[in-house]
Amino acid sequence: MLDTVKMPPERLLQLDDVEVAFKTRDGLVTAVNGVNYHVNRGEVLGIVGESGSGKSVTVRAIMRLLAKNAREGNGTIRFNPDGETEYRLDGVARDSRLMRRLRGGKIGMVFQEPMTALSPVHSIGTQIMRTVMLHRHVGKEEARLRAIDLLKRVQLPQPERLVDSYPHQLSGGMRQRAMIALALACDPALLIADEPTTALDVTTEAQILELLKSLQQELGMAIIFITHNFGVVADIADRVAVMYLGRVVETGLVDDIFYHPQHPYTRALLGSIPRLGQQKQRRLNVIRGSVPDPYNVPSGCVFHTRCDYADPAICGRDAPPNIPFANGQAALCHFAGKLPEAGQ
Ligand code: SF4
């Protein structure tokens, strides 16, 4: 492994040039292609993109939960949960001692569908207690009290009774709260939330977002919040990384991205959000075309087949540079900073 300069003290997680491909019968298909992003302590990073953008594969690489046919490149994933020890997670085996200690201990995860993550044959309390006993080395009684306290924190009613309930006895929103309680069992430094509200109705989604925001402020953990919905990002994130076809195409503070998006893909995503005051508009803006086949990625800028600003002579031929701005924003586009203001 290459030697790397230590991360700055405020940095919790940093990905540099992460690449993930999958070996299939039809050859190697690249899902993540040179991804760079970081998360500082106590901040919320929103990762936005359509399906197939590589956002979930990237966090699976962080958690070391990639499928067996995954092949990683030479990129680095560094994680420093306590400000003292910097771990290199790239190349670490899924079931290594380190990952068993970090997953559930320092990194919690909330999935879109809690039924696939929670065991159907164990009570909610048993599942939380097991995690607490494994990572905190406490006895059953203390772990049960901790489980009840966590269920209270995620605002589930009657936690003393609910602790003995099974996942199928809860509603979708309650299951998601129980999943959050499980993820928080050991006060993680980082919570990864992968589309945690996508399967919920709008009201329950708003309640879960509110809960995550208040827990984040109360506990001071950092969150990576993955979504395809820019509206949700505005609600919860401090910074945003926009992904397209396995690349981060734009990063920046949430307000900068919303009011001054520099990448045409970010502009197109923002243009496709329904807005108040636009009810009379007959059709929503949609991004033309569809996400290209990952087996047949366009040359040059991978977005050029769908981009309203593309110059075929340049964009179809040359891969764009990542252009940084003084406010910390950066966009992977030949014309970033030169496009007319988007007026979002
Ligand atoms: Fe569009 Fe060209 Fe920029 Fe790519 S490099 S986003 S095709 S303008």
Cβ-contact 309, 335 below 8 angstroms: yes
State residue 63's pLDDT score. Answer: 96
Q: pTM, whole model, 2 decimals? A: 0.92
- No. of helices (H) and no. of strands (E), the chain: 12, 13
State residue 2's pLDDT score. Answer: 46
Cβ-contact 198, 191 below 8 angstroms: no
- C-beta of 304 in contact with ligand 1 (< 6 A): yes
Between the CA of 336 and the centroid of ligand 1 the distance, in Å, is 8
State residue 113's pLDDT score. Answer: 81
Closest to 90 (Cα-Cα) out of 104, 68, 71: 71
Long-range Cβ pairs for the range 278-281 (8 Å, 24+): none
Ligand 1 pocket, mutate which of 311, 317, 318, 322 (most atoms under 8 A from CB): 311
Residue spans of the chain under pLDDT 70: 1-4, 275-284, 342-344
Helix H segments across 154-263? 159-162, 172-183, 202-219, 230-236, 254-259
Of all protein residues, whose CA lies closest to atom 3 belonging to ligand 1? 333
- C-beta of 320 in contact with ligand 1 (< 6 A): yes
Q: 195 in the Ramachandran plot: left (φ > 0), alpha (ψ -120 to 50) or beta?
A: left
Q: Which helix (H) or strand (E) holds 38?
A: strand 27-40
